[in-house]
Amino acid sequence: MSEETKSLNFIEHIIEEDLANGLEKDKLRFRFPPEPNGYLHIGHTKAIGISFGLGLKYNAPVNLRFDDTNPAKEEQEYVDAIKNDVAWLGYQWENELYSSDYFQQLYDWAVQMIKDGKAYVDSQSSEAMAEQKGTPTQPGVDGPYRNRSVEENLDLFERMKNGEFNEGEHILRAKIDMQHPNMLMRDPIMYRILKKHHHRTGNDWCIYPMYDWTHGESDYIEQISHSLCSLEFKPHRELYDWFKEQVYDYAKESYPMQPKQREFARLNLSYTIMSKRKLLKLVEEKVVSGWDDPRMPTISGLRRRGYTPNSIRQFIEKVGVAKRENVIDVALLEFCVREDLNKTAPRVMAVLDPLKVVITNYPDDKEEWLEAENNPEDDSAGFRKVPFSKEIYIEKEDFKEEAGSKFFRLKLGGEVRLKNAYIIKAESVVKDVEGNITEVHCTYDTDTSKKVKGTLHWVSIKHAVKAEVREYDRLFMDEAPDSHDGKDFMEFLNPNSLNIIEAFVEPSLKEAKVGEQFQFQRLGYFNVDDDSKSNALVFNKTVGLRDSWAKQKPKQNNPQKSQNKPQQQRKAINVVQQLGKKYTNYPPEKQEKVKAEIIELAKDVTYDELEPLFGTAVKKAGTRIAVMITLKELLKNGLERNDAINAFIEKALEDKNELLVAEASEV
């Protein structure tokens, strides 16, 4: 078996088998058929990626077809948003089509089915029909109108179409088998009366086809070769095929190919709601500001938050195509955007929780414009100038009056390097009446070649620009908020999912445009929000530099294990080594969880413990990755780079292991 064959997913295997059995390659055609009753969300990106990905792989057309058969819930606003989202993801459809394009053809075929005794008008109440339908273990029974004459059915159906009846008075049903083991085959509804204005056809129709009748026949008319949908539609496949066989007899000369429906596992994401109905409730009850609120899992919400098309496509690729349902850890999605933005986002300095620093030996009226690298991952990004003056802001958490040996940031009597600037030493503090530190007085040293362990970001107070920063947390505090019987998913809302703060950013950001993305050094990735104006900047936090949520998850205690050798009693550096041993064998979701554990452990690792592991054998890639993750945390916490660190990073960047290279490239 070739490598290419091994790498095929099960859908690609089906297609390859069909091609081997005589299907012409130029007959391959796919579609993405959203209903325009809401905004697309992250769950839809899997279906989009599969269909459009197959189109690219096989150079086959992909239709964008709107399943617009329910005018009560569908709007042009949603059509426009869906088109915008699919295009933003980087996909191009061959044809823009609508189920409503086929209303007349579907009606004509339904009339023919009545003539052939395969459909009838039922005039019972919905309650009566439900009772007659039976249960999964009990067969249904025939209703009193099942054997209406063809003539009466044709007359009633035409009058339904002409608007002579009220909603709910009659429906058209397929005549299959009321005792069928598949309940969907027990005379399913084909048409119902809906006297609603349609966003495309206006008031031309007052009967509308049901999904099962419309879906397969639209595929057939468009000559879709492979109709791909999620697993919940697998029970519908039998009905899909039955309807297809009926119309094939009517139109096989015009439409010679019969589509094949196949199902894949849908995308389920932890801490996330995918139901459009529930997402609409969040919007209507003003839990969020709208469909594009950055906390929403909608594509428009992710875009506004700063997610990139490439990061979402990479996420879908990592998730893969499977037949079984599973839940993907949202940390994997965050990992993908973090990886993408690391390569592309310019580095800038911003202070979110400012503490004033006065450099006492720096001249009062002096200012300098110092050179700063825009992106160490991109040589073409160049450099910018940042201003430096006597008074600067640093983060409050970057200073302590007294601190231990593992605190590499600023403390009284200690020295740190200011990013792109000088080395400063904390000499004294100023406090308010309540004892809170309001200022740190420092001296600076122009000898930047000195070895110090900490590096801090900062902004010049004189030049700093005020900005609103919106920090987002997960909207739900439960991994599966809609999976609890007897509980409303709204009970699991995170009351602290949005935190708005006033920050100070470097002056180069004055000209930042809506949608532009940046790395606020040592803080995370941020983008300019739609609400931003030239005189009132607004930034959204896209994602942190690491998965901080994992630290908050309660760990499951295992008494049996703890009696043996509890992990928390072992030295952190030893646990890091142990976790690294199998790192490369884990799937991406497990790697993210292990990485989060290593990050948590890193706070208890000293540089002296870590440095000997820089010489770990090349073949032990997992251990070297764990060491690199730990080193990255120490550097973020202020550890100064030295020759040994630089040599370790440079060697890792030349390694054959892509995971190690990726970690090293972030340092």
Domain at 387, CATH number: 2.40.240.10
Whether residues 155 and 304 fall in one domain? no
Q: Is residue 565 a part of any domain in this protein?
A: no
pLDDT over threshold 50, residue 451 = yes
- Integer Cα distance of 26 and 55 in angstroms: 11
Q: Tokens 């066989």 label which residue?
A: 245
Task: Order the strands of the 524-528 sheet from edge to edge.
Answer: 347-348, 517-520, 524-528, 537-543, 465-472, 498-505, 350-351
Whether residues 89 and 58 fall in one domain? yes
Q: Is residue 3 a part of any domain in this protein?
A: no
Q: Which tokens hold the place of 536?
A: 């009132």
Q: CB–CB of 301/293 below 8 Å?
A: yes
Q: Is residue 295 a part of any domain in this protein?
A: yes
Best CA proximity match to 339, nearest among 110, 661, 6: 661
Domain span at 587? 572-666
Q: Is residue 563 a part of any domain in this protein?
A: no
Whether residues 469 and 381 fall in one domain? yes
- pLDDT (tens digit, 9 = 90+) per residue, 572-612? 898 898 898 888 888 887 888 889 889 988 888 888 889 88
- Integer Cα distance of 634 and 637 in angstroms: 5
Whether residues 362 and 454 fall in one domain? yes
Whether residues 488 and 512 fall in one domain? yes
- Integer Cα distance of 425 and 423 in angstroms: 7
pLDDT at position 566: 44
451 CB-contact burial (10 Å; exposed 0-12 / middle 13-18 / buried 19+): exposed
Whether residues 627 and 647 fall in one domain? yes
Whether residues 217 and 111 fall in one domain? no
Q: Which residues pair with 455 in a beta bridge?
A: 417
- pLDDT (tens digit, 9 = 90+) per residue, 324-383? 888 899 999 999 999 999 999 999 999 999 999 999 999 999 999 999 999 988 889 999
- pLDDT (tens digit, 9 = 90+) per residue, 234-270? 999 999 999 999 999 999 999 999 999 999 999 999 9
- Show the beta-strand stretches assigned E in 179-281: 189-193, 207-209, 226-230, 260-264, 268-269
- Integer Cα distance of 168 and 162 in angstroms: 15
Domain final residue pick, 549, 581, 599: 549
**Terminal alpha carbon distance of the chain:** 40
Q: Which tokens hold the place of 341?
A: 């933005």
Whether residues 515 and 446 fall in one domain? yes
pLDDT over threshold 70, residue 301 = yes
Q: CB–CB of 162/204 below 8 Å?
A: no
Number of domains in the chain: 5
pLDDT over threshold 50, residue 1 = no
Whether residues 147 and 222 fall in one domain? no
Q: Apex CA 259: angle with CA 257 and CA 262, to 5°?
A: 155
Whether residues 576 and 541 fall in one domain? no
Domain final residue pick, 487, 518, 549: 549
Q: Tokens 């989060």 label which residue?
A: 596
Tell me the pTM. Answer: 0.80
Q: Is residue 116 a part of any domain in this protein?
A: yes
pLDDT category, 548, cuts 50, 70, 90?
A: low
Domain at 290, CATH number: 1.10.1160.10
Residue 154: count other Cβ atoms within 10 Å of its Cβ: 15
Q: Apex CA 515: angle with CA 538 and CA 43, to 5°?
A: 110
pLDDT category, 3, cuts 50, 70, 90?
A: very low
Whether residues 171 and 251 fall in one domain? no
Task: Order the strands of the 62-66 sheet from edge to edge.
Answer: 30-32, 62-66, 96-98
502 CB-contact burial (10 Å; exposed 0-12 / middle 13-18 / buried 19+): exposed
pLDDT at position 658: 78
Q: Is residue 64 a part of any domain in this protein?
A: yes
- pLDDT (tens digit, 9 = 90+) per residue, 619-641? 888 999 999 999 988 888 778 88
The dihedral sign for the CA sequence 34, 35, 40, 41? negative
Domain at 85, CATH number: 3.40.50.620
Q: Is residue 562 a part of any domain in this protein?
A: no
Domain at 185, CATH number: 3.90.800.10
Q: Is residue 559 a part of any domain in this protein?
A: no
Active site residues: 35, 266, 276
Q: Please state, rounded to an integer, the average pLDDT across all residues of the chain.
A: 92
Whether residues 495 and 406 fall in one domain? yes
Q: Which residues pair with 536 in a beta bridge?
A: 533
